[in-house]
Structure 1
Amino acid sequence: MIDDLDRIMAVMGTAFDPVYGEAWNRRQVEDALKFGNTHYYLLCAQGHTPADGESAAGFSLSRTGFEEEELLLLAVSPEDRGRGIGRALLERLRIDAASRGARRLLLEMRKGNPAETLYTNFGFVPIGERREYYRTPSGQRLDAITFAYDMS
């Protein structure tokens, strides 16, 4: 039987371009999930929670703070992109974060990440930039953009 961590890691292994070094390893995900304020969601290709033994097409991982929820990771397998899975994950995050008291969603991403279109179409707006925040495996420094989605 496939467990949820295996499903997350399977998507992680295909969704992130290794050039940027953005994918988390299994230990990083396990450690994040040990905290009670970290949440994840899985969706299969049909847009529902995967049944036992069914693989995931996408996942999100977020962390709750005081009146905010930070999206740590969102990934959709390349073969499942364009089906609305990313948007469905964001919508579920929005609803569940609001139920936990969040008034705002936050995320940070590499400048130039193609996922920016998904986030801006959903309603996220850029609120800040960090120069040379990320370092790729080859040592290149990349800027980060912080986005917010106001839910109040």
Structure 2
Amino acid sequence: MTPRDDVDQIMTIMAAAFDPAYGEAWTRRQVEDALLMGNCHAYLAAPDGAPVSEHERAVGFSLSRTGFEEEELLLFGVIPEYRNCGVGKAILSALRAAAHSRGARRLLLEMRRGNPAERLYRTIGFSVIGERRDYYRTPVGTRIDAITFACEIT
């Protein structure tokens, strides 16, 4: 797949997976710009959670950024009809392995309070390390707390 195909698939998944009421989806330009940096990585998952092959349709993705001994999960999404089927867990397991190979000792992520993905994050070992009150603002102006999570990579 070409990087353009990857971005096309990420945008398609994001449109299906992210609730527009929260304004969390990135623009195509934001995704492209992130991927131009050498320390950002995309993972596209097939319906079985494995890396998507050249002619397969992706049903989930992650976008992460590597820093000194840390990897930050920037975006993560799974098309709704593939949720609770192991795809999200497979994506996060692949992220953990890839981050470890890049020298990361822990994974970080930040999410809005009430995000249903919290259950999955906790299941695979993420725990709360911080909170930002009223950090996010929805398109209609509602304020929502941000929760920061970390997961040690062993």
**Category of TM-score, reference length = shorter chain:** over 0.9
- Tell me the residue number matched to 2:88: 86
2:66 to 64, 67, 73: 64
Between stretches 14-23 and 48-57, larger displacement belongs to 48-57
Taking the aligned partners of 1:4 and 1:145, their CA distance within structure 2 comes to: 28
**Structure-1 residue corresponding to 2:28:** 26
Q: With structure 2 as the length reference, what TM-score do the two structures score?
A: 0.95
Name segments (4+ residues, structure 1) moved above 4 Å: none
Give the match for residue 134 of structure 1. 136
What SS class does the counterpart of residue 87 from structure 1 fall into? helix
For 1:54, the aligned partner's letter is: E
1:19-41 CA deviation, whole Å, 9 max, x = no partner?
A: 00011111110010010000010
Q: Distance in 2 between matches of 1:133 and 1:93?
A: 26
Judge conservation of contact 2:48–2:86 (CA < 8 Å) in 1: no
Match of 2:84, SS state, is coil
The CA RMSD measured in Å over matched residues stands at 1.3
Distance 2:121 2:115 in 1: 11
Gaps of 5+ in 1: none
Q: Comparing 75-84 with 39-48, which one deviates more in the overlay?
A: 39-48
Task: Tell me the CA shift for residue 3 of structure 1.
Answer: 1.0
Q: Which residue of 1 aligns with 2:109?
A: 107
Deviates more, 1:44-53 or 1:81-90: 44-53
2 CA distance for matches of 1:39 and 1:143? 27
Q: CA deviation at 1:48?
A: 2.2
Amino acid aligned to 2:42: Y
Name the SS of the counterpart of 1:109 in structure 2. Answer: strand
Give me the whole-angstrom Cα distance separating, in 1, the residues matched to 2:53 and 2:106: 31
Q: Residues 77-133 of structure 1: CA distance to partner in whole angstroms, max 9, x if unpaired?
A: 001111101000110011110111100100000011110000000000000000010
Q: Displacement of 1:151 after TM fit?
A: 1.7
Q: Distance in 2 between matches of 1:97 and 1:46?
A: 21
| Equivalent position amino acid for 2:34 in 1 | A
Q: Which amino acid aligns with 1:118?
A: L
User: Which ranges in structure 2 are unaligned for 5 or more consecutive residues?
Assistant: none
- Write the distance in 2 (CA, Å) between the matches of 1:32 and 1:51: 22
Letter of the structure 1 residue corresponding to residue 49 of structure 2 = G
2:45 and 2:87 in contact (8 A); partners too: yes
